[in-house]
Chains A and B, each alone.
Chain A
Amino acid sequence: MGRHLALAISILGLAALLAGAARPLKLDFYGHYGYSWLSPRKDSPWNPGPVHVLASCDSALLLQIDGRLRLGKAVFCASPQWRAAHDGTWKTGLREATLNVNLGNFDLTAGKTLIRMGTGYMFTPISVITPDKSLADPEDNGHEQEGVWLLKADYYRESFSLGALVFKKNNWSNLALFGYVDAGRVDLYAILFHPEYRKLEFGLAAAGTLGESVELHAEIMVRRRSPVLRHRAFSVPFGAALFPQWPLFQPPDRCYPEILLGANVTFKGVNVIAEYYHADWGITAEEYRRLQGHYAISLSELPGPLAQMNLAADLELLQAGSRGMMRDYFFARLWKALKGVSLTAVGFVNLSDGSFLSLVEASWFLSDGITLYIRPLYFSGSQGDEFGDSVYSAMLQAGFSVRL
């Protein structure tokens, strides 16, 4: 990553020199500092306890420069980052670095960039290239999301556009074709996606308005392979000690639809976004219980290499779902701007077990570009439920961001 950063800065600097003072080089600065007070849930089955003591506070400082240089029909953008962790260590990163060539109705893009497609706010099943939004920071104030390396070609007319892109995950064999049509009162999106090592997947999305204050949106993405490994359903004849050895398997190829239904309503100055999300590849309540059992065994077996492997697989499984690993979720966000303050309330409910996460945020706009925020989060649910078992029961985040 250091090499990428050095390369981006060198290119930007060289380009600036070549362009001379008269050429438009635009530089913006973004800084963010966030501090979190964390309340670990001691009885959480995911809490590794004596193995790794969970922190009760965390902080992060981010400095980012957004450089933009226009040279005729080409625009070069780079966003190098410097990030300081709570333990004082610094990390460099490159959030984005792209070269965009504008050829009339055609646009060519090469480099590392963040792309978001689709119609949803929290969930975007058709946005196959986009990193998932964080529940704790849906607006990504901490700029944790990083771009993806890609080559992209787009053709734009006023009422439709077509695009093709090749991007890198593990390798460069991820190909997507997508289209957009402005069909009057409705936006229509379609995507064909050929992921690495997998069969062709496809998706459709639509968004439209109803009357003066209601927006409706829907998406469906048909996946051909589950991103989540499964635990074997059969009982273990030789006792729990052997259980970790063969616990996981890849479910067979079939269609796994991901569905989003959502609405955005403005009523008396309050903006409400509500979304229902279904992921057919998500695990069931029974599989969730088996996963917990397996995790407990993996922990007790540590430091055996096999158990460590299993533990790693469990943790990967935990993070495999976009915002949760089960099947049905409901998300709601209420937003209202008052005098100088913006208030947001978010609820995220697992519909299978009723456990939920709630969040309230107050943001103050102190002056041009300076925002201060405070954000308490609370995880709620019974033992054995997804959010009732979360490692932390509550968080309080506070911080500020500066954009110059």
Chain B
Amino acid sequence: MSRIKKWLFLVVLLLLAMLAKDLCGQAEADLLAKIDRYRMLAGSFRMDVRLQDYDGETLKDEALFKGFFAGDDRSLLICDSGKDKGMKVLMKGDDMWVNLGGSKRALRITPMQRLMGEASNGDVAKVSFNRDYTGKRLDDEGGLLKLELKAKSTGATYQRVLLYADPRTHQPVKAEFFLLSGKHYKTAHYQKGTVGDNRAAITTMRIEDKRNPRRYTLMEYLDFKPGQFPEKYFNVMYLPQIEAE
């Protein structure tokens, strides 16, 4: 009998441990969902994205993309200026395709291929921390919440992220991105603005190259407008026919 009790005790202990882990995980998922709210991930909308590539204080390159964002993981960017005018980048979850200006088809690409300067395709995609990563809260650092995020999928642009957020408002402040090899690759600094009906949101990202701190790219979100788009906009075969109008 005492043996059965011992086993029962162990099983209950195990269940409690699993429940506690689940509750902790849920708490961190809720935290990530709150952080994501600043990143304009919900619904379908039109938004322009301006990329400016700097070396120190010198502007090296600039491009404006017209963006079509749908659901929580689909986006289409069409370059409207600069040397890549006409280039289209389609992103669905971790998968990406590019159609170069004047080309008659789109090709699958990897998230690490550069869009411009320090901004990879994956940086501009609608990366949802809550959808794409599992979080673990670490000790606060410099008065900021600190979370260690691990990618749920092996195809994610960055496999590990250290995310810092305001403990009161949950506004993201900074994120450090790590590659599969464990190398610290980039750091993104988030700046708050407003979109649409004065909703607080991240409207500027400064992406720094860890190897060369002088080089950075400013990514600005402009002209936010809700909108609906045909589903074929997110089919790679239709990509060459889409015009930014």
Contacts and interface: CB of A to CB of B under 8 A. Distances in A.
Contacts of A184: 95
A252 B122 CA distance: 51
Interface of B: 55, 60-61, 81-83, 85, 92, 94-95, 103-105, 107-114, 154-159, 179-180, 230-232, 234-238, 241, 243, 245
Contacts of A107: 232, 238, 241
A126 to B, nearest CB: 11
Contacts of A116: 103-105
A157 B238 CA distance: 10
A161 B85 contact: no
Contacts of B110: 209, 211-215, 264, 266
A52 interface: no
Nearest to B233: A158
B122 to A, nearest CB: 8
Contacts of B243: 26, 68
Interface in A248-288: 264, 266, 269, 271
Given A116-B103, A182-B235, A264 B109 contact: yes
20 contacts: A104-B230, A121-B107, A156-B235, A156-B237, A158-B232, A158-B234, A161-B237, A163-B237, A180-B237, A182-B92, A184-B95, A185-B155, A211-B154, A211-B155, A212-B110, A212-B158, A212-B180, A215-B108, A217-B108, A368-B81
A339 B237 contact: no
A212 B108 contact: no
B108 A269 contact: no
Contact of B107 (A119, A158, A185): A119
B120 to A, nearest CB: 9
Interface residues of A, number: 50
A363 B178 CA distance: 32
A342 to B, nearest CB: 8
A120 to B, nearest CB: 9
Q: Is the interface of B mostly helix, strand, loop or mixed?
A: loop
A347 B242 CA distance: 33
Nearest to A217: B108
Interface in A61-119: 68, 70, 100, 104-105, 107, 114-119
A-B pairs, 8 with minimum CB distance: A156-B232, A365-B83, A158-B231, A116-B104, A213-B112, A116-B105, A161-B237, A207-B108
Interface string A52-64: 0000000000000
A24 B103 CA distance: 23
Contacts of B158: 212
A227 B44 CA distance: 50
Nearest to B81: A368
B241 A266 contact: no
Given A158-B235, A368-B81, A266 B112 contact: yes
Nearest to B235: A156
Contacts of A114: 104
Contact of B85 (A117, A180, A368): A368
Contact of A207 (B92, B107, B154, B234): B107
B182 to A, nearest CB: 13
Contacts of A158: 231-232, 234-235
B210 to A, nearest CB: 13
A68 B241 CA distance: 12
Given A212-B110, A212-B112, 4 more contacts: A119-B107, A156-B238, A160-B235, A266-B110
A208 interface: yes
A107 B112 CA distance: 33
Interface string A155-176: 0111111010000000000000
Contacts of B112: 212-213, 266
Given A104-B230, A158-B234, A371-B83, A24 B245 contact: yes
A185 B94 CA distance: 8
B46 to A, nearest CB: 17
A4 interface: no
Contact of B236 (A154, A157, A187): A187
A302 B99 CA distance: 49
B53 to A, nearest CB: 10
A234 B60 CA distance: 65
A337 interface: yes
Nearest to B53: A339
A119 B81 CA distance: 27
A271 B236 contact: no
Contacts of A104: 230
A403 interface: yes
